[in-house]
Amino acid sequence: MMLRTEKLCKRLDAFTLKDISLEVSRGDYYVLLGRSGAGKTQLLELICGLTAPDRGKIFLDGKDITHRRVQDRGIGLVFQDLALFPHYSVKDNIMYPLRIKRLPLKERIEKVQRAAEEMNITDLLLRKPGNLSGGEKQRVALARTLVTEPKILLLDEPMASVDASLKDNIRRMLRRLNRNGQTIVHVTHDFSEAISLATHVGVMHDGRIIQEGTPDEVFTHPANRFVARYAGIKNFFRVTFIKSYNSTSCVTDNRTKFRLPKGDYPSSGLLILSAGDVLLSRQGAAGVQINNIHGIIEDVVPSPSGYEITVNAGDHFYADITRREMEEQKYVTGEQVIVSFRSESLRLVGDGEEKKVY
């Protein structure tokens, strides 16, 4: 294990990081996902040594680095505000950490040139940061950190100052860095960044990591409502399970009844249903273990993939449909429709006893 933290705790005024234990393997792209104020940046500052933990330990390549100086850790951090020196040229910004290390001039020049080539900014070396775009500044900040050849690269909201049109370029560059062997820990509040970049994800909330694993593990099997919402799931149903001799069903708090696949269930729990698994029609769907629920369309909203339709059936259901389906069916608010989905599409959150995380 390349990086390991062991029950890190840090109190910062009224906020506390609580028992943070994570593991990052060599070559991982680990994304810490959470809202602003969750403690993500504070954790990065502990890992790189800008602040010291109240309790807990940090290990790099099996060695305890909890109390090592920042410059002796072999960890590079790119700040959210990038922290470029406005009066230095791009070349001098990148060279700055090498000057601090007192490397010979020839070696400094060679390293700066390699880093500039890797970030595709050789044509910017004589310019000042004030004359650069957000994406160009991001590349300069990355080059300045990579020139020190860090064992682990820490990124604090690296897309925050980048225009939407340039984010794909930055993502491609970060994926390439990772494919070339750079271990990365990346902090963000953006679910799409985690999906497009991460080999492993940790979801943070209120100073704790509440779930971690591969993106598929975390977002296909969320531990609670908070994680499911981050995955874009909107259909949540608190249910009581009903067991009989030859079938299993459940009833929501609003008395909507669902058929379920046979299996062992707790007495109550939280079920989720992806909007992509919901079929909308005027006649209902046929088949074994198909749930057909009557409701009224409350809202029709354009979405990146087509339209999101909200149906009030006592409980609210959200269905994603394509533009072509909308053109064919012409659904309108106030219309009576039938929401259909397979029993297997319903998933139990966590172990059924949802943790109080919202």
pLDDT 10s digits, 181-202: 999 999 999 888 899 999 999 9
- Rounded to whole angstroms, the Cα distance separating 61 from 46 reads 17
- Rounded to whole angstroms, the Cα distance separating 31 from 199 reads 8
* Count: domains in the chain: 2
Tokens of 316: 């609210």
Q: Give me the pLDDT at residue 102, please.
A: 87
Q: Give me the pLDDT at residue 334, please.
A: 97
- pLDDT beyond 50 at 350: yes
Residue 104 sits in the same domain as residue 205? yes
Q: At 179, give phi and psi (nearest 5°).
A: -60, -30
Residue 252 sits in the same domain as residue 301? yes
Q: Give me the pLDDT at residue 351, please.
A: 55
183, 199, 230: which is the final residue of a domain?
230
Residue 123 sits in the same domain as residue 223? yes
- Rounded to whole angstroms, the Cα distance separating 235 from 252 reads 12
Residue 332 sits in the same domain as residue 270? yes
Residue 147's domain spans which residues?
3-230
Residue 211 sits in the same domain as residue 74? yes
Max avg pLDDT among 101-105, 191-195, 318-322 = 318-322
- Rounded to whole angstroms, the Cα distance separating 72 from 75 reads 8
Q: Give me the pLDDT at residue 167, please.
A: 83
Average pLDDT across the chain, whole number = 91
Residue 226 sits in the same domain as residue 240? no
Q: Give me the pLDDT at residue 169, please.
A: 85
Average pLDDT over every residue of 44-69: 95
- Rounded to whole angstroms, the Cα distance separating 350 from 358 reads 14
- pLDDT beyond 80 at 305: yes
- Rounded to whole angstroms, the Cα distance separating 310 from 312 reads 7
Residue 117 sits in the same domain as residue 38? yes
Residue 177 sits in the same domain as residue 44? yes
**Angle, CA of 177, 23 and 77, to the nearest 5°:** 45
pLDDT 10s digits, 146-168: 999 999 999 999 887 777 777 88
Residue 137 sits in the same domain as residue 213? yes
Residue 145 sits in the same domain as residue 284? no
206, 230, 254: which is the final residue of a domain?
230
Residue 301 near residue 307, CB atoms below 8 Å: yes
Residue % of the chain over a pLDDT of 70 = 97
Residue 98 inside a domain? The answer is yes
- Rounded to whole angstroms, the Cα distance separating 197 from 202 reads 13
203, 230, 257: which is the final residue of a domain?
230
The CATH number given to whatever domain includes residue 162 is 3.40.50.300
Residue 282 sits in the same domain as residue 247? yes
Residue 357 inside a domain? The answer is no
Type of residue at 135: G
Average pLDDT over every residue of 258-268: 88
Residue 173 sits in the same domain as residue 256? no
- pLDDT beyond 80 at 357: no
Instruction: Report the b/e string of 32-63 with b at 16+ CB within 10 A.
Output: bbbeeebbbbbbbbbbbbeeebeebebbbeee
Q: Give me the pLDDT at residue 265, please.
A: 87
CA distances from 277 to 143, 318, 340 (A): 44, 10, 9
The CATH number given to whatever domain includes residue 306 is 2.40.50.100
